[in-house]
Amino acid sequence: MKWVFYVIVFVYMLYRTVYGLKPVENNLIVEPVTYGDDDFLKVGGHKTISCKASNRNQKVEWIDPNGHTVKRIPGSRIFSQEHFVPSMRGRAPALVLTVTRAEVEDTGVYQCKSGDLVKNVTLCVIAPSYFVDTMPEVSADFFRSITLSCQAKGEPEPKITWYRNGEVINDEDNSEKYKVMTKYNIQGFEGLLTIISLEPEDSGVYTCQSTQESLYVEECSHTSSFNITLNVNYPPIFEHRNKTQAVYAKNNQEVDIVCSASSYPIATYRWFKEMTDDVLYEFDQKQIKLSEDGTKATLTVVANQSTFWQRYKCQATNDYGVSEKYFTLMKMEKPKRPSEVNVFNATSDALYLNVTWYDDIQFPVSAFQIQYTTEETGKKKFLPPREATWRRSKQTEVNLEEGETIDPELGGIIIPLEELEAETAYWIRLRVTNEVGESIWSDPILVSTSAESEETTTTEAPESESEVSDDSESMNDGTFYGLFFAGGIFIVAFVCVFAMRLVK
């Protein structure tokens, strides 16, 4: 076991001869500058930055952004001070740069210097902006214009940018709607945003963003923002303005008629029943259910022989106007057969069918049942399939969503028939269903899907392969260094043994 001791002694002596004689190279280490939660030092704040030398005799100095040496006078606002800190070889000097009562002008690149060695460090000092005399909520009447004002104070001087829904408001692209201006007064710069000829859609949040950028250092900046809510006052507006809405119900069914107008401020509602031509009966407010947010007023009526075809009127009022909407209670009947079904357009895997009625649509529609077949229909190719063929055919259903209706003005609707084969002729017929029943089948039509469009199949880039080879390469690296290290130990051990032989 004696040789273990010899090895240790030998390795230590080897270390002393190799490293002991060589002087440690001069070096400088500057700790990175951090500011806590912010990206900058607040004006008036205090900061120390230490620059460590690796040698006792190294002469170190701090140079300020103007190129002057920072003096070692503790009384001044910015000074440097020497400390000795523990290091690899005893104690080494560290020169600590201290900035007190920081000013925006202190921003810049400070250099820790020792002979030819230079280490740069950036100091960023900002007086973060705050908003003054800025209103968080503003109201204005429709058709008018309004100017939102936003004033931010801080140093460097803030620049104001306006945002709406996350996008910058640019008055060059939209000069009919917006005007962006900056005004200078004793308080500083004021950002102004004028919104021209207000519409209900202009209601919402406008964000005023203040950006402060240092004149001295690019990455020294700060942004903060302030939200201004604009409320545009406008009279109640109903969807589909003056159209009378049909409300379908079965006999003795209780049915809710919902009246909801958009408006600001929120409208108040009144419900009426039309008696004869010019006489209205007003419902008591107790008979009207108002939604929690006050935007919907629901009237519940019982549908029966005395109420079918009854017209009801809802009136919505606010300070800016009055709007009315009529509803007619209709007896729910099963749908009528469509007058016409034709093809609106065709793709390789889908057909869009245009379903039309010539008469008024006085029934609700909940779904379309479609039958389609490619089966040959006997000798005469263009003869429609027989009932037996239809029974074997494919069937699918297209449901209308809750609340979706067929616009009586268009007199029809476009519905999709999907998952078809390309360049194939189909016989198609459909019928319409609702809660009460179904219509009879429409006249069959013969339609073809279009040819498959050529899609360029993208060839996969061999990314995964290169990743694998990267991996194996790094593994090779690992193996290489492992071998290298093991080899080193072997050589050292061999030399030791050899040396011990010599000593003996």
Ligand X SMILES: *[C@@H]1O[C@H](CO)[C@@H](O)[C@H](O)[C@H]1NC(C)=O
Q: Give the count of beta carbons closer than 10 Å to the beta carbon of residue 439.
A: 20
Using the rule CB under 6 A, give the single segment among 72-80, 267-275, 343-351, 460-468 that binds ligand X.
343-351
Closer residue to ligand X, CB minimum distance, 266 or 346? 346
CA geometry: angle at 479 spanning 477 and 484, to 5°?
95
Using the rule CB under 6 A, give the single segment among 35-43, 70-78, 167-175, 302-310 that binds ligand X.
302-310
CB of 145 to ligand X, least distance (A): 23
The only residue of 304, 328, 362, 448 in contact with ligand X, by rule CB under 6 A: 304
Residue in this structure with the two tokens 């939660």, named with its chain if needed: 37
Under the binding rule (CB under 6 A), the answer on residue 305 touching ligand X is yes
Under the binding rule (CB under 6 A), the answer on residue 340 touching ligand X is yes
Closer residue to ligand X, CB minimum distance, 6 or 344? 344
Using the rule CB under 6 A, give the single segment among 212-220, 259-267, 271-279, 338-346 that binds ligand X.
338-346
Under the binding rule (CB under 6 A), the answer on residue 229 touching ligand X is no
**Nearest by Cα to 228 from 184, 182, 192, 175:** 192
Residues between 345 and 404 that touch ligand X (CB under 6 A): 345, 347, 352, 354, 356
**Contact present, 495 and 11 (Cβ < 8 Å):** no
**Contact present, 254 and 240 (Cβ < 8 Å):** no
**Contact present, 351 and 341 (Cβ < 8 Å):** no
Closer residue to ligand X, CB minimum distance, 109 or 468? 109
Closer residue to ligand X, CB minimum distance, 305 or 458? 305
254 sits in which H/E element: strand 253-259
Give the span between the Cα atoms of 366 and 363, in whole angstroms.
10
CB of 271 to ligand X, least distance (A): 16
From the number of C-beta atoms within 10 Å of its C-beta (0-12, 13-18, 19+), residue 217 rates as: middle
Q: In the numeric block, which tokens belong to residue 391?
A: 């029974």
CB of 325 to ligand X, least distance (A): 10
Bridge partners, residue 396, by sequence: 370
The only residue of 85, 132, 290, 414 in contact with ligand X, by rule CB under 6 A: 414
Closer residue to ligand X, CB minimum distance, 69 or 227? 227
CB of 208 to ligand X, least distance (A): 10
Question: What residues contact 466, with CB distance under 8 A and at least 6 apart?
Answer: none
The only residue of 139, 182, 342, 395 in contact with ligand X, by rule CB under 6 A: 342
Residue in this structure with the two tokens 């067929």, named with its chain if needed: 406
Using the rule CB under 6 A, give the single segment among 32-40, 175-183, 344-352, 486-494 that binds ligand X.
344-352
Closer residue to ligand X, CB minimum distance, 306 or 458? 306
Under the binding rule (CB under 6 A), the answer on residue 205 touching ligand X is yes
Strand bridging mode 221-237 / 137-141: parallel
Using the rule CB under 6 A, give the single segment among 7-15, 130-138, 264-272, 297-305 that binds ligand X.
297-305
CB of 241 to ligand X, least distance (A): 5
Residue type, 457: T
Give the total of residues touching ligand X (CB under 6 A).
23
The only residue of 207, 223, 231, 448 in contact with ligand X, by rule CB under 6 A: 207
CB of 165 to ligand X, least distance (A): 8
Residue in this structure with the two tokens 């100017």, named with its chain if needed: 147
**Contact present, 27 and 116 (Cβ < 8 Å):** no
**Contact present, 299 and 256 (Cβ < 8 Å):** yes
Closer residue to ligand X, CB minimum distance, 128 or 412? 412
What are phi and psi for residue 202, nearest 5 degrees? -75, -10
The only residue of 8, 302, 425, 483 in contact with ligand X, by rule CB under 6 A: 302
Residues between 169 and 188 that touch ligand X (CB under 6 A): none
The only residue of 17, 69, 120, 469 in contact with ligand X, by rule CB under 6 A: 120
CA geometry: angle at 34 spanning 33 and 35, to 5°?
130
Give the span between the Cα atoms of 360 and 243, in whole angstroms.
14
Using the rule CB under 6 A, give the single segment among 30-38, 292-300, 336-344, 478-486 that binds ligand X.
336-344
User: Which residue stretches of 31-111 are H helix?
Assistant: none
**Nearest by Cα to 49 from 94, 103, 115, 114:** 94
Q: Give the count of beta carbons closer than 10 Å to the beta carbon of residue 270.
A: 19
Give the span between the Cα atoms of 24 and 54, in whole angstroms.
8
Closer residue to ligand X, CB minimum distance, 225 or 448? 225
CB of 120 to ligand X, least distance (A): 4
Give the span between the Cα atoms of 198 and 184, in whole angstroms.
26
Under the binding rule (CB under 6 A), the answer on residue 109 touching ligand X is yes
Closer residue to ligand X, CB minimum distance, 209 or 373? 209
Closer residue to ligand X, CB minimum distance, 204 or 437? 204
- Point out which residues bind ligand X (CB under 6 A): 109, 111, 120, 205, 207, 225, 227, 241-242, 302, 304-306, 340, 342, 344-345, 347, 352, 354, 356, 412, 414
